[in-house]
Chain A
Amino acid sequence: MRVPLARRTFPLFAAALVSTSLACALGRPTPTPVPEIDAVLSAMGAAEADPEAAFLELSEAIGANPAGVEATALSRLEDPNADVRLFAVYSLAETASSAAGMRTLVGLLEVSDVTERMLAAEGLLRRGEPEGIPALIAALAVDEPMRGAEPPIQVWDFARDLLLTNTDQDFGLSSAVDAESADAARPSWEAWWAASGRNLTWDETELYFRSSP
């Protein structure tokens, strides 16, 4: 299931590795799952819990203790409860900064749940890692809801926004109004990825992947 990181992988990852090494060298503890955050993730999937309140707690924790959220999310990715798993992926995509977290995001591009794949791809793109682009291109044909999204959004629409925002390409995608018209642009995107995917550079100033001339 795991996909090795591409050679072009990002300064952030390198920084994370250095940071981890320093932490070990200095004897700082490696982040471990936080029981309170673990309880919040459990509440996201519990029928008797208030998922709205749980999500607000999770959002607050993402800002206050991202390392703790990342460690906790990594421990819940195989949870049998689909909602717990979903919000573990969401949490990881929001907070991943460790090598393990980044590797796991790449691996999540292969899971069966399309919403989880989209969240992993988004998390990678936001960190300058283009590995998620093929998953987004493939999702242009998927006319089903991103489960748990607020406000609601279809998978193809979510993928479209990410591709248009994070690359310098369009191929008619910006005018797509449904999955069918988005899917019509897919072959051009696939051809672009096949031709240029290995040569993309992350423009740190403009915050998007620049195709090589």
Chain B
Amino acid sequence: MIGRRAVLAALALMAGLVSLSAPGGVDARRLAVNQVERNGTVVTITVPIDLHVPAQQRYRVPGAGTTGGAGLAAWWESGAEAIWNSGLSPFLFRGCYTLKVDIQLNVVAADPFSGNSDHHQVYLRGSAFRSKVARGGGAGKNEDDPNTYTHPGLGYWGMVGPTTVAHEVGHLLGLADDYTDVKNASGQTTGAQSLPGREKTLMDNYRQGSAATWFDQELVDRLGDMAGIVEPLPPCFQGTVTLLVEDAREGHYRAATLDLALAVSPNEAGELEGLATGSFDLSGSVTQGGCEFSYNGATDVSLELTASGQANGPYTVTAKEEQRYEETQRHFLCDDPVDLQIDWDIGLTIEDIIFRDREYRFSDGSADVVLFYSRP
């Protein structure tokens, strides 16, 4: 028997731990306003808004003629929700979570005594010049603040379109403006300036961009950070890994390559599970008594995974069971037939996976390798 059992394992050096700082703190207040619900790797943030509308007031909705408050609310809700969810869908938070926004715009009477105290309160104003949301947490204009997940925000919205509503809902989701006011030497406002790297995104001057520029990974990460404060999100990894084993002894050279795509996410019980699928490729040569032959082999691989670890890591991902690859091949050493028995146990262990710089990484000992992160 020439083949030997082997376990493929990636054992990595401990990478430096850099903690992910949350944007602002949350105290022990009850969760009352924005709700965060995780279903597998889909995280939905529900934003309940009471829209205070004068009775009998009519509004002009492009393409739909005139409508009452309910029609205005429906136009805003569907339009803004579509902007958020189509914008978020290409991006993953922490490499695997899809974020969704559920806007619930309820029409209530215009007076301030109407409405649900656990909902955000928004009042209509006539001019499209200014729409504002007060998040109430004391954060500055350019600082994200999760206060709106626990305390109702207050808004005054003008007669604007769904994109502006989507921007204002962004504030109710805790996001800050990504622009600053420009003032002249007398301190008077003359315009607005985008924050570096935020140009044309939804919380910036989105009118200078388009749907293609409104969302980016940074915006998704900021939103996910705040949702994660309210509903702690277990880690989940996905990506690809390639492992190579090569050795030579007693006239037998062999090289084995394991190419796997893996995904690990929390199950309903919150335990990390996953699957690694891909291929195992083997090649080698045997030299004995001045004779030689070469061989190749390959098999599909599917490994059930489990993972352990806490917070930002380190995590260890391990195959629950090894997969055996057995095969007998007929070869010839000069003219003598020999049977090569291939017998491998294929496993996987990846240690010291650390979440840092917004990505899951491990080190292969010589350089940091990003394996568990997907970009659109």
Contacts and interface: CB of A to CB of B under 8 A. Distances in A.
Interface of A: 45, 47, 52, 55-56, 59, 62-63, 81-83, 86, 90, 93-94, 118-119, 122-123, 126, 144-154, 157-158, 161-162, 164-166, 205-208
Given A94-B126, A119-B127, A154-B207, A55 B188 contact: no
Contacts of A94: 125-127
Interface in B16-74: 58-60, 62, 65-66
Contacts of B128: 122, 153, 158, 161-162
A82 B191 contact: no
Nearest to A161: B128
Interface centre among B58, B123, B179, B187 (most CB of A within 10 A): B187
A148 B66 CA distance: 29
B129 A151 contact: no
B189 A148 contact: yes
Interface of B: 58-60, 62, 65-66, 110, 112, 123, 125-132, 134, 141, 154, 156, 161, 164, 167, 177, 179, 181, 186-192, 205-208
Contacts of B156: 56, 59
Contacts of A144: 191
Contacts of B112: 63
Contacts of A45: 188
Contacts of B141: 52
Contacts of B188: 45, 81-83, 147
Contacts of B59: 207
B205 A152 contact: yes
A81 B125 CA distance: 24
A152 B129 contact: no
Nearest to B179: A152
B123 A151 contact: no
B186 A82 contact: yes
B190 A158 contact: no
A62 B125 contact: yes
Contact of A56 (B62, B132, B206): B132
Given A151-B167, A151-B179, 11 more contacts: A59-B156, A90-B127, A90-B129, A123-B127, A147-B188, A150-B130, A153-B207, A154-B208, A157-B207, A166-B60, A206-B60
B125 A59 contact: yes
Contacts of B189: 83, 86, 147-148
Contacts of B125: 59, 62-63, 94
B207 A207 contact: no
Contacts of B205: 151-153
B123 A59 contact: yes
A162 B186 CA distance: 31
B191 A150 contact: no
Contacts of B66: 205-207
